[in-house]
Amino acid sequence: MKTSRTLFIALLLFITPIFSQGEGGTFFLASYNVENLFDTINDPTKNDEQFLPSDSSQWNTEKYTTKLNHLAQVIDSMNNGWGPDVLGLAEVENKAVVDDLVAHLNNGKKYEVVHFESPDGRGIDCALIFNTRIFKFVASDTLGVNLPNGWPTRSILHAALTTPRGTLYHFFVNHWPSRSGGQEKSEINRVTAGARLKLKTDELLSKDPNTNILIMGDMNDEPLDKSIVEALGALGFNCDSLSGLAQDALYNLSLEKKLKGEGSYKYRGNWNMLDQMIASGNVLKKLYLCGSFGIFNPEFIQQKGGNYEGASLPTFGGRRYFGGYSDHFAVYAIFHLD
């Protein structure tokens, strides 16, 4: 009996690395607005005073460490405990906080970070981490978004990664302008961001209609809003008719969940699908595990009771400290590893 148990444990140790690398020929992509991941150090070039020990928030090392531990718990829980292979992040202050977050992860994967400083006045940026066992870094840059009112906003992060077989992917991480001042009044800002991204994707697809494009992030708009449908040109699709999709078009993986009344962010009792994933036609036809798009909302991060029951427990509610995770759920999808 003891010999059988020893052999069983040895077998588990042998097969575990096989399933942790690409999950048997697939990769797990996730996008997560981590709600103001700020360090405790004052940056005179940024409006980061709200996240300092001297502020009424009393943002200190203990709270920062709790934030990192909680986010790591969520990220490690993704992909049935294996963690994501590619993760887009919104609302990070700088590369140092992303490095700190990666250091807290415990899913066995080795990640590399892609990050650029953004002109956003509050100093929040986008970043991307990827599993170096599956992807190799090729290049990265940012797309500047020039708003009509001249107000600085987050850049769109672009990272080109390749698989061991040489398949190239273009990942775009977004955090479009907020709805401050009202959805209708601020819409032009998100339309501007969508149009800027469209310029880049059109450029890539005009060179090669088979280009693999994966767009993710907090759009601060919903899948049927003008910024997504008209400015970016992201369409709906049906898993039963993938063969009819255009190679050089963009399609919204998030739309189906939205039409079912689901969302990644709860506002005044209503679900909003602000966090989205959008892919080029070639990705959907050849690589997407159709129907795999989901909202990562494990019970342990959900609020219990009240108007926000079922929503993710945030770190702050206004100025009140809850010590939670984020005010957004992450979204994810699975793709074949070509």
Q: Is residue 4 part of a domain?
A: no
Percent with pLDDT over 70 in the chain? 93
Q: Is residue 329 part of a domain?
A: yes
Q: Is residue 51 part of a domain?
A: yes
Average pLDDT, the chain: 92
Tokens for 215? 């767009």
Element (DSSP H or E) covering residue 279: strand 275-280
Q: Each residue of 263-273: b (16+ CB within 10 Å) or e?
A: bbbbeeeebbb
pLDDT in tens, 146-160: 999 998 899 999 999
| Residues paired with residue 131 on neighbouring β-strands, in sequence order | 111
pLDDT reading at 7 higher than 50: no
Q: Is residue 164 part of a domain?
A: yes
Structural domain for 148, as ranges: 24-336
Percent with pLDDT over 90 in the chain? 87
pLDDT reading at 330 higher than 50: yes
| Per-residue DSSP letter, 154 | P
Q: What secondary structure does DSSP assign to 205-272, as a single string?
A: HHH-TT-EEEEEEE-SS-TTSHIIIIII-EEP--GGGGGGS-TTSEEETTHHHHHTT--SEEETTEEE
Average pLDDT of 244-267? 96
Residue 167: how many CA atoms within 13 Å on its side-chain side? Answer: 17
**SS3 labels along 116-128:** CCCCCCCCCEEEE
pLDDT in tens, 275-328: 999 999 999 999 999 999 999 999 999 999 888 999 999 999 988 999 999 999
The pLDDT of residue 30: 98
Q: Each residue of 8-36: b (16+ CB within 10 Å) or e?
A: eeeeeeeeeeeebbbbeebbbbbbbbbbb
The pLDDT of residue 306: 86
Average pLDDT of 53-58? 92
pLDDT reading at 3 higher than 80: no
Across the chain, how many H-helices and E-strands are there? 7, 17
Q: Is residue 184 part of a domain?
A: yes
pLDDT reading at 4 higher than 60: no
Residue 304: CB atoms within 10 A of its CB come to 9
Q: Is residue 219 part of a domain?
A: yes
Which CATH number characterizes residue 164's domain? 3.60.10.10
The pLDDT of residue 86: 98
Domain count, the chain: 1
In degrees, rounded to 5, the angle at the alpha carbon of residue 220 between the alpha carbons of residues 216 and 221 is 90
The pLDDT of residue 147: 95
Q: Give the global pTM.
A: 0.93
Looking at per-residue confidence, does 14 or 307 come out higher?
307
The pLDDT of residue 307: 86
Alpha-carbon gap, residue 144 to 121, rounded angstroms: 14
CB 270 within 8 A of CB 337: no
Q: Is residue 6 part of a domain?
A: no
Alpha-carbon gap, residue 196 to 267, rounded angstroms: 27
Q: Is residue 8 part of a domain?
A: no
Given phi > 0 = left and psi -120 to 50 = alpha, else beta, which region is 165? alpha
Residue from 262, 260, 283, 108 nearest 205 by CA: 283
Residue type for position 168: L
Average pLDDT of 246-270? 96
pLDDT reading at 22 higher than 70: no
Given phi > 0 = left and psi -120 to 50 = alpha, else beta, which region is 22? left
Looking at per-residue confidence, does 224 or 47 come out higher?
224
